[in-house]
Amino acid sequence: MGIRVAPRMRGVAESGTVRMGNLERELRARGVQVISFALGEPDFDTPAHIKEAAAEALRSGFTHYTASRGIPELRAAIAEKSARENGIPCTPDEVLVTPAKLGIYEAMMAFVGEGDEVIVPDPGWVSYGPMVGLAGGRPVNVRLREEDDFRMTPELVAMAVSPRTRMIIVNSPSNPTGTVMTGADFRGIADIARDRDLLVLSDEIYEKLVYDGRHISIASLDGMQERTITSSGFSKSYAMTGWRVGWLVAPKALMGPIDTIQQHSLTCCTSFAQKGALAALKGPQDCVTRMFEEFRRRRDYIVGRLNSSGLFECRRPSGAFYAFPRYHLKRPSLELAERLLSEAHVGLTPGSAFGAGGEGYLRISYANSMENLGKGMDAIEQAMGRF
Ligand code: GLU
């Protein structure tokens, strides 16, 4: 029997980030020492009090399904956090606990239909476009410019809007560029969304990693909460990538269809992981501050190393934990990334994984120890000198 994938899979490639992470793991399993700058995940261990809360949940038998939207106390804590930190006053009914990545997918499945256009940043996170496509829609890339610091400006968005536009995706701080958008950017995009009656999906997973400027949630702007789905989670700020817990905040009318997709797919987020997540929000926050300070130190180091290498040019990113340097070699970024992995044993993500606008760049996740950053940069410089 010939294997025939569903038509919706046509043109959907593997995730550039996850694929590089898998390749690194395979090399490591063969005994090769790999330095990992590919996947965006903190090298820190999950803070002890969070692990203990999940372990206690397991010991006490909290191992069954929960409500599809999540345990009430976690939803209440997320609602309270959204009001206090993000300026999004909401009730627990407007919160869905779900892995952040799945939540974005669920939102697409619920609101993007055949032929609908969704405006996505380019370079932008690897999965926005494929998720739009899988939902039946068409991603419309907004080509961001390095001279604008890769900000998704209202002018660029306005040029991409058409009568078929259904949704705009904003992501600040951005993966892969680390760009933090300004209040004026958000106000301009909000004007477009209100005028054209569009939905906004705001991916704020790096919200706690802003080194310069401040984090703004677009849902906090006038008239925006009713049309905005805000996505965030625990992975990046609490070093909980493997837990797969995050959330969506959206008004009740939008949340209903998203919850229906959750009921037909995940059912609910892992029960004991939710208890750990609750401890993350309710417990001491100094762990977040410590990791943040360390990420800032690493950012300054890696940007300095890249710019003094003579091989790259790198802006100083204002947020997240990615450097997005432009390289001088005239080679496709995929080829460079694959050679750096196989020959220098340093994993990083080719810029082209983030859209055509990322070609000529590499993404370096600097959520790794100073020692590894130093060794990795040494190896990159040696190898690229040879290429
Ligand atoms: N978001 C992380 C990254 O960009 C994890 C992998 C993924 O979801 O793409 O590396």
Residue 234 one-letter amino acid: F
Residue 266 one-letter amino acid: L
Q: How far apart are CA 84 and CA 232, in angstroms?
A: 15
Question: Same structural domain for residues 269 and 296?
Answer: no
Last residue of a domain, one of 282, 317, 332: 282
- Does this model's pTM top 0.85? My answer is yes
Q: How confident is the model at residue 328 (pLDDT cuts 50, 70, 90)?
A: very high
In a domain, 52, yes or no: no
pLDDT confidence of residue 15? 95
Last residue of a domain, one of 282, 313, 331: 282
In a domain, 2, yes or no: no
Question: Same structural domain for residues 108 and 212?
Answer: yes
Token pair for residue 90? 């909401």
Check if 227 has its Cβ closer than 6 Å to any atom of ligand 1. Answer: no
Give the mean pLDDT of 226-246. Answer: 98
Domain assignment of residue 15, given as a range: 7-46+286-386
CB-neighbour burial class of residue 373 (10 A; exposed 0-12, middle 13-18, buried 19+): buried
Question: Same structural domain for residues 175 and 321?
Answer: no
- What is the whole-number distance in angstroms between the Cα of residue 241 and the centre of ligand 1? 10
Structurally, how many domains does the chain consist of? 2
In a domain, 269, yes or no: yes
Question: Same structural domain for residues 241 and 378?
Answer: no
Which domain CATH number covers 239? 3.40.640.10
Best residue among 175, 177, 243, 364 to mutate for probing ligand 1's pocket (most ligand atoms within 8 Å of CB) is 175
Predicted confidence (pLDDT) per residue in 29-52, tens digit: 999 999 999 999 999 999 999 999
- Reduce the secondary structure of 240-308 to three states and give it as a string: CHHHCCEEEECCHHHHHHHHHHHHHCCCCCCHHHHHHHHHHHHCCCHHHHHHHHHHHHHHHHHHHHHHH
Predicted confidence (pLDDT) per residue in 338-380, tens digit: 999 999 999 999 999 999 999 999 999 999 999 999 999 999 9
pLDDT confidence of residue 3? 87
The mean pLDDT value of the chain amounts to 97
Non-local (6+) Cβ contacts of 20 within 8 A are: 38, 39, 337, 341, 347, 348, 349, 353
Give the number of the atom of ligand 1 that is nearest the alpha carbon of residue 101. Answer: 8
Last residue of a domain, one of 241, 258, 282: 282
Question: Same structural domain for residues 109 and 75?
Answer: yes
pLDDT confidence of residue 94? 98
pLDDT at 1 over 80: no
Element (H or E) spanning 193, and its range?
helix 183-196
Which domain CATH number covers 380? 3.90.1150.10
Give the number of the atom of ligand 1 that is nearest the alpha carbon of residue 349. Answer: 10
In a domain, 55, yes or no: no
In a domain, 103, yes or no: yes
In a domain, 129, yes or no: yes
pLDDT at 2 over 90: no
pLDDT at 204 over 80: yes
pLDDT at 330 over 80: yes
Q: What percent of the chain has pLDDT over 70?
A: 100
- What is the whole-number distance in angstroms between the Cα of residue 194 and the centre of ligand 1? 30
Element (H or E) spanning 129, and its range?
helix 128-134
Check if 244 has its Cβ closer than 6 Å to any atom of ligand 1. Answer: no
